[in-house]
């Protein structure tokens, strides 16, 4: 009979309710027979096994299985106390042991679920961050490549020298794209120390400016105080500016000028990007994930973000970020 109680332990994880039904069912039948025959004697060697089954029921069983199994366990306890009368203290202690095993199983189950949920949330945040980085870096350069390729095809026959210039820009943009892709892949493949690698900052923002030959022409003005600016804020300023320029190239093809202004004071940094293209054909749906990513970057740093048409029917992107980059 002891083996009949111990064997169900083999499937306590895969079929916890079945294991409880088999083990406690056998014990209940034995106790009923003892009551009818008025025989004495307890299966003390099976007590530890029954506690393990009570734990397993709440650790790996579903809610319905736990309720059904608990009812079977309580029924067996009532029957076994009739077969072997005990004092009130002993009866309470017996119930307490099984309830403790069940509670422990439920607690471990809950803790495991919380840990899995936290891991899933961390993975989701990493995916969102990776999506923003890919969108803000690769899409920016690929957009420039596409525009220069179109320009090169248009002037290849009539102005070969201008086509050569377009091809040079394409080559430079393709090289930058490849380098940034390699950097992102390197961060994913290497240890966490790779996260300490230098991030783009204000110096890189100024490098986004272009000359009059490129359309749209990008001008960058940086004024104010930027000492001890948080690296996260500098990186956000660069990504916001980069994505805004990309959107102007994609969705405001008639734009000829993109003006970038970065103003810093002792509390915050304000970034404003204006383009002179018509905003009539530009919408959040068309821009897609670009605005979502920019909004997320500003919010994570405790800042504000706005993107929309201006009074002159142009398009403006404006973000205000705290210098310290503290999240709200």
> What integer is the mean pLDDT of 142-156?
77
Q: Output the CA torsion sign for 250, 251, 256, 257.
A: negative
| Segment (H or E) for 244 | helix 231-251
How much of the chain, in percent, has pLDDT values that exceed 90? 21
pLDDT-derived band of residue 282, with 50, 70 and 90 as boundaries?
very low
Q: Is the pLDDT of residue 283 over 50?
A: no
Q: Summarize the confidence of residues 1-23 as an average pLDDT.
A: 85
| pLDDT tens per residue, range 121-131 | 877 776 777 77
Segment 73-82 mean pLDDT: 88
Mean pLDDT computed over 165-188: 73
Distance CA 6, CA 28 (A): 15
pLDDT digits (tens, 9 = 90+) for 91-107: 888 888 889 999 999 99
Asked if pLDDT for residue 318 goes beyond 50, the answer is yes
181 in helix, strand or coil? helix
Give the side-chain half-sphere CA count within 13 A for 265: 4
pLDDT tens digits along 25-38: 888 888 888 888 87
Residue 58 pLDDT > 80: yes
Predicted local confidence at residue 177, as pLDDT: 75
Q: What is the pLDDT of residue 55?
A: 93
Strands 315-322 and 304-309: antiparallel
Whether residue 312 is predicted with pLDDT greater than 80 in this model: the reply is no
Domains of the chain, CATH where assigned: 2-85 (no CATH), 199-328 (3.30.565.10)
53 pLDDT more than 50: yes
DSSP reduced 3-state for 298: helix
Q: How far is CA 38 from CA 27, 32, 129, 293, in A?
A: 16, 9, 71, 76
Question: Is the full-model pTM beyond 0.85?
Answer: no
């Amino acid at each position: 009979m002891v083996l009949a109680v111990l064997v169900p332990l083999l499937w306590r994880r895969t079929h916890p309710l079945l294991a409880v039904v088999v083990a406690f069912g056998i014990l209940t039948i034995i106790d009923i027979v003892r009551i009818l025959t008025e025989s004495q004697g307890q299966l003390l060697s099976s007590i530890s096994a029954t506690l393990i089954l009570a734990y397993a029921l709440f650790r790996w069983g579903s809610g319905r299985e736990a309720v059904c199994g608990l009812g079977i366990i309580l029924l067996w306890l009532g029957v076994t106390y009739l077969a072997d009368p005990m004092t009130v203290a002993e009866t309470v202690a017996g119930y307490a042991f099984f309830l403790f095993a069940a509670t422990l199983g439920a607690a471990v189950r809950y803790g495991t679920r919380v840990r899995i949920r936290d891991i899933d949330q961390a993975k989701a945040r990493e995916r969102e961050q990776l999506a923003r980085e890919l969108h803000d870096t690769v899409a920016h350069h690929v957009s420039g490549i596409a525009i220069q390729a179109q320009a090169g095809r248009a002037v290849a026959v009539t102005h070969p020298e201008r086509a050569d210039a377009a091809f040079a820009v394409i080559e430079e943009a393709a090289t930058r794209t490849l380098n940034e892709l390699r950097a992102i892949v390197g961060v994913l493949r290497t240890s966490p120390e790779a996260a300490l690698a230098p991030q783009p900052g204000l110096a890189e923002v100024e490098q986004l400016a272009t000359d009059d030959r490129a359309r749209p022409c990008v001008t960058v003005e940086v004024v104010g105080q930027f000492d001890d600016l948080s690296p996260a804020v500098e990186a956000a300023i660069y990504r916001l500016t980069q994505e805004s320029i990309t959107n102007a190239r994609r969705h405001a093809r008639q734009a000829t000028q993109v003006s970038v202004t970065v103003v810093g004071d002792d509390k915050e940094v304000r970034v404003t990007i204006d383009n002179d293209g018509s905003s009539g054909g530009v919408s959040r749906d068309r821009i897609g994930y670009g605005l979502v990513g920019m909004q997320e970057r500003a919010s994570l740093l405790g800042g504000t973000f706005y993107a929309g048409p201006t009074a002159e029917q142009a398009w403006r992107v404006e973000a205000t970020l705290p210098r310290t980059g503290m999240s709200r």
